[in-house]
C-alpha cells in the first residue's frame, strides 16, 4: 500500500498478550508494526497541529491476561470531524494475526480455503464470460 496522507481510521482486534515487548507500549508496538508492514510508513507519535496520528488505547491493554481488545488508530489527523464526517472517512478493520514477531501465515492459509470472489459468484461470472465469448457483438 503506497503512502497516502488522507485521513483513515484503522481498527485492529488483537489478543493483547500476543503483542511483544513492554505491556505499557503495546499500542505503540502494534501501531508501529501495522504502519511499517502494511502502510510502509511510520506511526507518527509526535504531535503536530497540522497532521498527526492518534491511538485510542483500550482498557486493560497492559494486562497479563490474554484478552482480546480493539485498538483504534486515527491516521493523518489534520482537523476535527463531526460524527457524520467521521463516518465518511476511510476505515480499515483487521483481526491481528501476529505471532512470534511476524505475520501469521496460518491466517492466510485458512482464508485461502474461501474461493476468491465467492464460489457462486465465480461460477456465475464464468458462465457469463462463456456466453459473451460464444456470442460476440
What pLDDT was estimated at residue 27?
Answer: 97
pLDDT score recorded for residue 99: 62
Which pLDDT value is given to residue 103? 59
Q: What count of Cα atoms within 13 Å lies in the side-chain half-sphere of residue 32?
A: 12
The per-residue pLDDT for 104 is: 62
- Cell representation of residue 74: 486515527
**Closest CA relative to residue 18, chosen from 96, 72, 111:** 96
Strands (E), the chain: 8-15, 52-56, 68-77, 90-95, 98-99, 102-103
Rounded mean pLDDT for each run of 10 residues along the chain, 137 residues in total: 80 92 97 94 91 95 95 94 92 79 63 74 86 87
Query: Rounded to whole angstroms, how far apart are CA atoms 29 and 10?
Result: 15
Task: Quote the CA–CA distance of 28 and 33 in Å, as a whole number.
Answer: 8
End-to-end CA distance of the chain: 38
Q: Starting from the edge strand earliest in sequence, which strands make up the sheet with 68-77, in order?
A: 52-56, 68-77, 8-15, 90-95
Amino acid at each position: 500500500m503506497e503512502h497516502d496522507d488522507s485521513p483513515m481510521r484503522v481498527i485492529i482486534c488483537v489478543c493483547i498478550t500476543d503483542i511483544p515487548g513492554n505491556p505499557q507500549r503495546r499500542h505503540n508496538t502494534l501501531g508501529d508494526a501495522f504502519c511499517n508492514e502494511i502502510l510502509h510508513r511510520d506511526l507518527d507519535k509526535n504531535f503536530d497541529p497540522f497532521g498527526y496520528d492518534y491511538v485510542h488505547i483500550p482498557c486493560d491493554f497492559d494486562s497479563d491476561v490474554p484478552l482480546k481488545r480493539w485498538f483504534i488508530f486515527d491516521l493523518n489527523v489534520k482537523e476535527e470531524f463531526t460524527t457524520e464526517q467521521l463516518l465518511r472517512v476511510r476505515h480499515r478493520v483487521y483481526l491481528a494475526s501476529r505471532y512470534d514477531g511476524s505475520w501469521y501465515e496460518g491466517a492466510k492459509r485458512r482464508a485461502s480455503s474461501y474461493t476468491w470472489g465467492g464460489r457462486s459468484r465465480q461460477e456465475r461470472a464464468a458462465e457469463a464470460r462463456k456466453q459473451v465469448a460464444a456470442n460476440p457483438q
